[in-house]
A and B are shown apart, each in its own frame.
Chain A
Amino acid sequence: METALDILSWVLLLGGGAFVIIGGVGLLRLPDFYTRLHAAGMTDTLGAGLIILGMMVEGGLSLVTVKLVLLGALIFLTSPTATHAIANAAFTAGLEPWTGDDGAAADQGEASSSKA
């Protein structure tokens, strides 16, 4: 039983770590602000959720797990809200999404950054 729980927690933590790294690479490598927002926002919720779930399995039935449930609920509520707020603010300020028409994607943000 103990070993099974350890293996479950190991898998959850490793999966969460993999998602977190994928999100970080996406945040660095993707061509445009909105795509980077997508990479960071989506993987934030899943990676953080998996890592917190792994810690819950390790914590067992105790006060630690109660705190982890609170932390998980907080991240689940605030992370999408913050992502939406950033996207909304950028769109209202006039940052144009990259549609792939022109080849120069990397410096696309420079032109509209002066409006911010």
Chain B
Amino acid sequence: MFTAAAAAILITMFLALIRLFAGPTLYDRVLAVNSFGTKTVLLIGVMGFLSERPEFLDIALLYALINFITTIAILKFFRYRALGDAPDRKHRTDAWKRLSIS
């Protein structure tokens, strides 16, 4: 029964990969990466049960945390073009001036 669930998750990961390459906007890609990450967490858990080693769940927990932080970090970077404190309009740092496009 875990085989069926793993197959379903793998098919969905493939569909998410197609959306990731097709785009067309940045946000479609971020959404596809986020969805792919959630499916990876599930797949690691299911594979742990399939191979009778449920200790894999520790890795799945870590991956769930990293996946969330990755999504937020990508969104923040493409909005502010910097990963430190959110830049203040009045007190722009030199680094932010260099990175900023607009």
Contact = CB atoms under 8 A, between A and B. Distances in A.
A86 B41 contact: no
Contact of B38 (A6, A79, A86, A89): A79
A107 B4 CA distance: 35
Contact of A18 (B8, B14, B46, B61): B8
A70 B61 contact: yes
B5 A54 contact: yes
B82 interface: no
Contacts of B13: 24
A87 to B, nearest CB: 8
Contacts of B83: none
B24 A116 contact: no
Contacts, number: 150
A58 B31 CA distance: 31
Interface residues of B, number: 47
B85 interface: no
Contacts of B28: 33, 36, 109
Main secondary structure of the interface of A (DSSP, over half): helix
Nearest to A25: B15
Given A13-B4, A71-B61, A74-B61, A20 B27 contact: no
Contacts of B23: 109, 113
- By Cβ-Cβ distance, the 7 closest A-B pairs, closest first, are A17-B8, A24-B12, A24-B15, A78-B68, A90-B27, A67-B57, A113-B25
Interface of B: 1-2, 4-5, 7-9, 11-16, 18-19, 23-28, 30-32, 34-35, 38-39, 41-42, 45-46, 49, 54, 57-58, 60-61, 64-65, 67-68, 71-72, 75, 78-79
14 contacts: A14-B4, A27-B35, A33-B25, A40-B16, A40-B31, A44-B35, A48-B38, A71-B60, A71-B64, A89-B27, A89-B75, A95-B25, A109-B23, A116-B26
